[in-house]
């Protein structure tokens, strides 16, 4: 098994630790394998890969695409370090408005799975950060939406007080005003059995 899986406080959000193989030449790791991810409930097919490069204190988010083009994402930081956040925006969910966070970095090689119907964002903690992410739907401008990063209703504890944002991200609405068509449950039920790995 080249991966360890851990469900976070919102159990639909999954932290993935790939196994790294090292020798005198360098290192190698798998970052995605359907046959290992599917038993954990990550059964979607990924159809678009994205790459972003961001400077220190840049905050990207909080982003989502509404139905019918809601995106699940696999996020990994391949250079630098980021504080990565997922917010449950499914109306009626027992964890609605709640968020989970994790530091992703080139040192820990961790991967975060953020399901569709969650908002996602990150802030850069290092001098710069390169982030790659796989998406279950292609980018759809007409369905592209967001919520403002400092919404008091979500009350995310960002480690940066004065982030650098795009004009678009500065002007996202509050969650209560967002164009959000997600209802709970809106993703596949969890497979029983909890975390997988050692």
pLDDT of residue 194 exceeding 70: no
pLDDT band at 2 (very low <50, low <70, confident <90, very high): confident
Among 4, 32, 45, 63, which one carries the catalytic annotation?
63
pLDDT computed for residue 93 by the predictor: 96
Domain spans, the chain: 44-177
CB atoms near residue 146 (< 10 Å): 21
Report the C-alpha gap between 175 and 21 in whole angstroms: 42
Is 187 a residue whose pLDDT tops 80? no
pLDDT higher than 60, residue 33: yes
Q: Sort residue 5 into left (φ over 0), alpha (ψ -120 to 50) or beta.
A: beta
Sequence-distant (≥ 6) Cβ neighbours of residue 79 within 8 angstroms: 106, 128, 129, 130
Q: Determine what percent of the chain is predicted with pLDDT higher than 90.
A: 92
Q: Which of 100, 60, 109 is nearest to 81 (CA)?
A: 109
Q: Residue 198: what pLDDT?
A: 31
Q: Yes or no: say if 53 and 126 are a contact pair by the CB < 8 Å rule.
A: no
Distances (CA, A) of 152 to 132, 136, 149: 29, 29, 9
Mean pLDDT score, 20-37: 95
**pLDDT score of 186:** 62
* Residue 23 reports pLDDT greater than 50: yes
What CATH code is assigned to 44-177?
2.60.120.10
Q: What distance in Å separates the CA atoms of residue 108 and residue 110, rounded to the nearest whole number?
A: 5
Q: Can 133 be counted among the known catalytic residues?
A: yes
pLDDT digits (tens, 9 = 90+) for 150-178: 999 999 999 999 999 999 999 999 999 99
In the predicted model, is pLDDT for residue 191 greater than 80? no
User: What phi and psi values does residue 151 have, to the nearest 5 degrees?
Assistant: -60, 120
Q: How many CB atoms lie within 10 A of CB 35?
A: 6
Closest Cα partner for 62 from 193, 175, 189, 190? 175
Q: Out of 34, 96, 113, 133, which one is annotated catalytic?
A: 133
The Cα 186–Cα 183 span in angstroms is 6
96 carries an active-site annotation: no
Of the chain, the percentage scoring pLDDT greater than 70 comes to 93
């Amino acid at each position: 098994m080249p991966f360890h899986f851990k469900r976070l406080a919102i159990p639909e959000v999954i932290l993935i630790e790939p196994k790294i193989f090292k020798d005198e030449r360098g290192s190698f790791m798998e970052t995605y394998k359907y046959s290992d991810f599917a038993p954990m409930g990550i059964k979607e097919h990924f159809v678009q890969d994205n790459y972003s490069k961001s400077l220190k204190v840049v905050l990207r988010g909080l982003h989502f695409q509404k139905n019918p083009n809601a995106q699940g994402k696999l996020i990994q930081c391949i250079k630098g370090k980021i504080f990565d956040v997922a917010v449950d925006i499914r109306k009626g969910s027992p964890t609605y408005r709640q968020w989970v966070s994790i530091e992703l970095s080139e040192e820990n090689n961790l991967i975060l799975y953020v399901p569709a119907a969650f908002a996602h964002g990150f802030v850069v903690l290092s001098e710069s950060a390169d982030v790659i992410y796989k998406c279950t739907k292609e980018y759809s401008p007409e369905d592209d939406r967001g919520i403002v990063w400092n919404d008091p209703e979500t009350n995310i504890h960002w480690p940066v007080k004065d982030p650098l944002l795009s004009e678009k991200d500065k002007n996202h609405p509050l969650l209560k005003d967002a164009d959000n068509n997600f209802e709970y449950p809106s993703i596949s039920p969890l497979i029983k059995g909890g975390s997988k790995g050692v």
